[in-house]
Chains A and B, each alone.
Chain A
Amino acid sequence: MEKQIIVSIGREFGSGGHEIATKIAEYFNIPMYDRNILEAIADEKGIDADTLHKYDEQPKKHVISRTVRGFSNSIEQNIVEMQFDYLRRKARSGESFVVVGRCSEIVLQEHPNLVSIFVLGEPHHKTERVMRIYHLTEEEAQQKMARHDKSRKAYHNQYSKYHWGDSRNYDICINSTTLGVDKTAEYLEKFIKAKFDLD
C-alpha cells in the first residue's frame, strides 16, 4: 500500500473487535499488532516472550509501584513503555498496520494517518459470543467479560485523559451487535477508505 494507514481498534471484551481488526488487516493486506508486539520485542531483546505476556495490557499497581527520575519498578509500566515505543517506531517507519488495544489511539494520536475505532456490543450478544468461543456457561462468560473489561479500562485510563470507550477519543465508535462482525468489518473498511481517499 502506497499511502500509510494506521488503524487503531479499541474493543470491549466479546464484541468481536479483535476479529474485526483481523478482517480489516486482511482486507488492506497489512500487518496486525496485538499480543504479538511482545513477541517482536522479545525477539529484539533476545528473551522469552512468555516472561512478558502475563503483564500485557495490565494496569500499573500504584500501591506497590514507585517512580524515580522517570524509572518505575512497575513491570506493567515498563512493558507498556516498550510497546508504546515499538508502535511509535513502526509508525515513524512509514509502515501501514492495524493495532488492537494498547492505548494505540493515544500513543499515535499525533500521527496524521491514524484512524481510531472503538468496537462495543450489546451485553447479551457479547455473552453469547464468549460462551461459544471459550465454551463457558453464561455466568462464567459474564465474569470473564467483566474481569477483562475492568482491567482494560484501568489500563487505558492510566495513560489517557479520556476514558476507555469515550466517543470523544475515537474517530468512530461502533456497536457490532447492530450489523454483526462481518458487516461491521466491511462498514469500517469503507469508512477507512473514505477517510484516506483510497479507491
Chain B
Amino acid sequence: MLLAQIFAVAIFVVMFVLVVTEKIERQYTTLGCGLLTLVLVHGVGLRSLPAMFETLNVRSIFTVSFWYAGAAGEEASSGINWSTIIFIAGMMIMVEGMAKAGFFRWLCMNLAKLVHYKPIPLFLAFMVMSAILAMFIDSITVILFLAAVTVELAHLLRFNPIPMIISEIFCANLGGSATMCGDPPNIILGTSLGYSFADFLTNTGVLAGIALILVVIYFFLVYRKDLKQEEGFVLDPSTLPDPKESITNKKDFAFSCVIFGCAMILLITHAQTGLTVAFIGVLVSVLTLLVAGKDSWNLIKKIDYKTLLFFIGLFVVVGGLEQTGILEIIAEFIGKVSGGNLMLMVGIIIWVSAIASAFIDNIPFVATMIPVIKSLAAMEGVDLEVLSWTLAMGTDIGGSATPIGASANVVGTSVSAKSGHPISWATYCKGAAPATFIVILVSMICIFVRYC
C-alpha cells in the first residue's frame, strides 16, 4: 500500500503543479497523470484490476440508476464521475444553441433598455441578472456575454466598464454557488454525494441569496463614483442597439427559450421525477441538436472537449488518492485539529477551501476534498451535508477573490482587456477580495447559526 500511496501523492502533486503552471495544456496533464495513476497506483502499487475498473467507472453508465434514480436521489459513485461529464457536455450544447440564436445578447440588451440605459441601474440590474443566469448556466458563458455587452454599452454610454465587469464576475460565481448546476464544484459535489437541486437551493441557495443582497450593496458603495458618465455626455438614442436585432433566427430563438425552460424545470424537479442530471443533460442536448438540424454538427464541434477530458483525467488521479487511503489521512488530520468540534471543522473547511480556491483551480480542489469530507463525517460522526455546503461555499466563493480563482474571472478580465480595458490584479482584488471576505464570513456565521 505504501508504494501505491507514494505514487498517488507524487502523481497528484505533479499534476497540480503542471495544471497551475500551464506548461502543458491541462487536459493532457490530467489525462497523462490519470494514465500514470492507472498503471503505477492500481497496477504496480495496488496490483488490483477491480480497483482500476472501479476508478474508470464505465459500468455505472450502463446501470438504470445512472439515468433514473427514483425519488431517493442518485447513487453516489467513486472514480470518474460520468454524470458530471455527461451533464456538462449536454448543457454546453444547449448553451451554444441559445448563444447562436442570440438569447444572451437579447436578454442583456432588453434589461439595459428596461433601466433606460442609466449606468447605476444598469450596474445593479446586471449584477442580479448575472447571479440568476449563473444559477442555471455555466458562469463562463454568462460572463462571456455579459462582459461583452457591458463593454459595448460602456462605449456607447461613456462610462468605465471595469467596476461593472468585476461585480458581474463576482455575482456569477455567487449565483453559481446557489444551485447544483451553477458551478462545476457543485455538480461534482451533488453527483458524488447524491444531493438534489432542491438540496442545494435550500442550503447554499439561501446563503447565496443573503450574500447577494450584501454584495450588491457593497459594490454599489465601492463603485458608485466610478460609474459616472463623462461630463457633458448626451445620449443619442439612434446609437442604441435594438434588442430584437440580437435574435439571429426567430425559430431557433423560440425553441432555445423552450429548451432552456424545460431544462430549468427538469433540474428543479429532478428529485421528484427521479431523472438524473446525466439524463437531463442528454435530453436537452438532443433537443437542441434536433432543433439545430443541419447546424447540429457545428454545435457539437463547439463543445469544450478539453474541459471534459480535463475532468476525466482529474477524476482518475483523485480516484487513486482515494483508493490508497491518502484522503482518509487528511480527513483524520482535520478531525484531530478540530477535536471533533463541528464549528471548528466548518471554520477550517470554509477558510482553507476559500483561500486555496482564490489561487488554484477549484475543480481539482473540490474533487479531492469530497472523499475527505466523506471520511471526516464518518469518522467524527458529523452531518456530511453541513460539511458539503461549507465546502461548496468555500470553493465557489473563494474563487472570486483573485483574477485567476475561477474560470469566470479569467474570461471576464480577458474580455475586458481585449476591449482595451485591462484589469490588473490590484484593481481586481481591491474590489473583489473584500467582497469575498464578507461573503465567506457571513456564510460561516449563517452555517454556525443554522447547522451547528
**Chain A interface (Cβ within 8 Å of chain B)?**
41-42, 45-47, 51-52, 55, 62-69, 71-73, 75, 78-79, 81-82
Contact = CB atoms under 8 A, between A and B. Distances in A.
B411 A78 contact: no
B47 to A, nearest CB: 38
A58 to B, nearest CB: 12
Interface string B289-324: 000000000000000101100000000000000000
Contact of B414 (A51, A62, A73): A73
A78 B155 CA distance: 19
A64 B404 contact: yes
A69 B304 contact: yes
A59 to B, nearest CB: 14
Interface in B240-268: none
A46 B421 CA distance: 10
B78 interface: no
B413 interface: yes
A79 to B, nearest CB: 7
A71 B410 contact: yes
B22 A41 contact: no
A47 B421 contact: yes
Contacts of A78: 414, 417-418, 422
A28 B155 CA distance: 38
Nearest to A62: B21
B425 interface: yes
Contact of A64 (B306, B419, B423, B425): B425
Interface in B328-369: 361
Nearest to B411: A71
A59 B386 CA distance: 44
Given A64-B404, A66-B22, A79 B422 contact: yes
A67 to B, nearest CB: 6
Interface in B406-445: 407, 409-411, 413-415, 417-425
B140 interface: yes
A41 B404 contact: no
The 5 closest A-B pairs by CB, nearest first: A78-B417, A71-B414, A45-B420, A47-B420, A75-B422
Contacts of A52: 420, 422
Given A55-B422, A73-B410, A65 B404 contact: yes
A71 B422 CA distance: 13
Contacts of A72: 410, 414
A65 B424 CA distance: 11
B403 interface: yes
Interface string B382-408: 000000000000000000000110010
Contacts of B423: 73, 75
Contact of B422 (A51, A69, A81): A51
Interface residues of B, number: 26
B420 A73 contact: no
Contacts of A66: 22, 361, 403-404, 410
A86 to B, nearest CB: 12
A72 B418 CA distance: 10
Given A51-B421, A64-B403, A66-B361, 8 more contacts: A41-B420, A51-B420, A55-B422, A62-B21, A69-B407, A73-B417, A78-B422, A82-B418
B410 A67 contact: yes
B411 A69 contact: yes
Nearest to B417: A78
Contacts of B407: 68-69
A173 B418 CA distance: 34
Interface-centre pick from A45, A47, A73, A75 (highest chain B CB count, 10 A): A73
Interface-centre pick from A45, A51, A64, A68 (highest chain B CB count, 10 A): A68
Contact of A73 (B21, B140, B413): B413
B35 to A, nearest CB: 23
A134 B407 CA distance: 44
10 contacts: A51-B421, A64-B404, A66-B361, A67-B22, A68-B410, A69-B140, A73-B410, A75-B417, A78-B422, A81-B418
Contacts of A68: 140, 407, 410-411
A91 to B, nearest CB: 20
Nearest to A66: B404
A62 B304 contact: no
B419 A45 contact: yes
Nearest to B424: A75
A75 to B, nearest CB: 4
A81 B420 CA distance: 12
A135 B449 CA distance: 67
Contacts of A45: 419-420
Given A62-B21, A66-B410, A73 B403 contact: yes
A164 B423 CA distance: 29
Contacts of B425: 64
B143 to A, nearest CB: 10
Interface in B126-154: 140
A66 B402 CA distance: 11
A66 B409 CA distance: 10
A64 B403 CA distance: 8
Contacts of A55: 422
A66 B425 CA distance: 12
Contacts of B403: 64, 66, 73
Contacts of B22: 62, 65-67
Contacts of A63: 21
Interface string B2-31: 000000000000000000011000000000
Contacts of A67: 22, 410
Nearest to A61: B425
